[in-house]
Amino acid sequence: MPAHTLTLSHTHTHTHSDINSSLSEASWPSGTECVAKYNFQGSTEQDLPFCKGDLLTIIGVTKDPNWYKAKNSVGREGMIPANYVQKREGVKSGGKLSLMPWFHGKITREQAERLLYPPETGLFLARESTNYPGDYTLCVSCDGKVEHYRIIYHDGKLSIDEEEYFDNLMQLVEHYTKDADGLCTRLIKPKLMEGTVAAQDEFSRSGWAMNRKDLKLIQTIGKGEFGDVMVGDYRGTKVAVKCIKHDATAQAFLAEASVMTQLRHTNLVQLLGVIVEERGSLFIVTEYMAKGSLVDYLRSRGRTVLGGECLLKFSLDVCEAMEYLEANNFVHRDLAARNVLVSDDNIAKVSDFGLTKEASSTQDTAKLPVKWTSPEALREKKFSTKSDVWSYGVLLWEIYSFGRVPYPRIPLKEVVPRVEKGYKMEAPDGCPAAVYDLMKQCWTLDPAGRPSFRLLREKLQHIRAKELHL
């Protein structure tokens, strides 16, 4: 317990009329999310008890700056002490988030020695081996000089002494921080690569780190090339968990997790927290979407179950999420019905921010889903909100065809040349003309000629209003 919790003398006789609408500069606005740093039992009926790690939402301030009115995840409201909670912020680290901030990549032996100067026993870094390409070197300062240990890569495992073997560098470093085990000293202090930030520290600082002990993994619901997606239980709440085991892959997913901390919308799958394990695993914990992917949902229910109003609602749900991303200058890059999930109460939410980047950057096009990607993104790697609009047109087609694969009966290698000549898919059976018209607008070859998501949302709302008044 912190010393300053003594301010909790229960002289507060707070009533609902204490809630002061004029927010002081030090106070957090209504709707701010925070995480409990300690347990709080409360001593009056008006208090809201909570446990360390609980998520709370501020719903008002009081005249006493030490107290907030808040609600918990099940909607119970009450008073909480301000110094028992930490505000949740988006991870906007100026440096590059790293699971291995002590890994310096391709540097020479001499550069490593300069970095470990002045000598400090236990100061260490890892680098790629210059003499043995594919191997690593562990460089450790000890008694005024630097020792270089070759890390041998053998049968997918790493070892220094060929007695102890490790799956990845993180496990190896973790082992030698606990025990020198033959090295000149145990690893005490990492020499961080300039510009990097330790991921665990950054997620903790901004209030997104979860405790692994509180997470129970129940069953696998999906397998991807990067790891498993599982259903889990986090302190009594059903959650979805992306489990990424390999350190290099986990490093790539840090970007996805940090993007998700900055985004909040009812039609985006919500990040709940991140667990970074010392042994190289990364768990991204999100809200659980009971009805799975939109493409599977459409295929399994079909037109006998899903009416036009339902299809239009899904179209609007996705459009509103994309309008929010557009307004915040984020580009999704992989918008498709497979990357939209459906909640228990039939709300469609956009997921998979794996490729999401700040607007208008470039990327490798080798792995791009050709049928969903705009011509300029395929040809010149130009990604923008307008390339997302193209993908949204394809997603609309998927919705109205009940999950069919786009460009039916056209061989994959012919899709791009035909599209570039102006070919557009025909309207799915039963698709309203006004909706098909929107699809065609999304497939304008010149990106500048495509509508914005805001305009698309307005047009869809107009179509919906007309249908409801028929």
Peptide bond into 369 cis (omega under 30): no
**Of 239, 238, 241, whose CA–CA distance to 230 is shortest?**
241
Judge contact between 312 and 457, C-beta under 8 A: no
**Of 65, 79, 83, 58, whose CA–CA distance to 16 is shortest?**
79
Give CA separation, 220 vs 56, 70, 231, 247, 352, in Å. Answer: 29, 35, 6, 20, 17
Q: Is 156 left (phi over 0), alpha (psi -120 to 50) or beta?
A: left
- Residue 291 annotated as binding site: no
Give CA separation, 89 vs 32, 35, 238, 433, in Å. Answer: 9, 10, 23, 44
Judge contact between 2 and 86, C-beta under 8 A: no
* SS percent in the chain: helix, strand, coil, step 5: 30, 25, 45
Which DSSP symbol is given to 212?
Answer: G
Annotated catalytic sites, by residue?
Answer: 334
Residues 6+ apart with CB under 8 A from 201: none
Two tokens, residue 162: 């060929």
Residues 6+ apart with CB under 8 A from 102: 124, 125, 126, 173, 190, 191, 192, 193
Listed in sequence order, the DSSP H helices in 262-307 are 294-305
C-alpha to C-alpha distance for 405 and 364, rounded to whole angstroms: 24
Coil, helix or strand for 238? strand
C-alpha to C-alpha distance for 376 and 392, rounded to whole angstroms: 15
C-alpha to C-alpha distance for 355 and 335, rounded to whole angstroms: 10
H/E element holding 244? Answer: strand 237-244
> Using CB atoms within 10 A of its CB, is residue 352 exposed (0-12), middle (13-18) or buried (19+)?
buried
> DSSP labels for 28-60?
PPTT-EEEESS-B--SSTTB--B-TT-EEEEEE
Query: Residues annotated as binding site for ATP?
Result: 242
